[in-house]
């Protein structure tokens, strides 16, 4: 591998790592704020929707689609980055 190829590869890896941290931080922040919300507004803990406590409903129903959406966004972003990398390498 040439030095420029190594530089391109490191750049690709950094880009993908940055994307993974963005997704992880976003989901971590969203899920991590749920207990904070329960402490700040304890009335929400006692709210029931369709017979289920609201916190359980949020954790069981809303968190998983958010994870799937974040994963889908991540895959599209990584694939776009890889396509850009391939175009860059092929046109050099």
Position 23 in a domain: yes
Q: 72 lies in which domain range?
A: 15-90
* Confidence band of 7 (pLDDT split at 50, 70, 90): confident
pLDDT above 70 covers a percentage of the chain that reads 99
Position 73 in a domain: yes
Q: How many domains does the chain have?
A: 1
Of 72, 65, 70, nearest in space to 27 by CA: 70
Position 42 in a domain: yes
Position 39 in a domain: yes
Position 5 in a domain: no
Contact criterion met (CB below 8 Å) for 15 and 80 = no
pLDDT digits (tens, 9 = 90+) for 34-65: 888 888 888 888 889 888 888 888 888 888 89
Position 65 in a domain: yes
């Amino acid at each position: 591998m040439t030095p420029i190829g190594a530089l391109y590869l490191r750049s690709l890896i950094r880009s993908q790592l940055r994307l993974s941290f963005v997704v992880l931080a976003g989901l971590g922040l969203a899920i991590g704020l749920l207990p904070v919300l329960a402490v700040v507004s304890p009335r929400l803990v006692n709210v029931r929707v369709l017979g289920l406590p609201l916190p359980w409903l949020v954790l069981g129903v809303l968190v998983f689609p958010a994870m799937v959406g974040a994963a889908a966004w991540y895959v599209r972003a990584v694939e776009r980055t890889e396509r850009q990398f391939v175009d860059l390498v092929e046109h050099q």
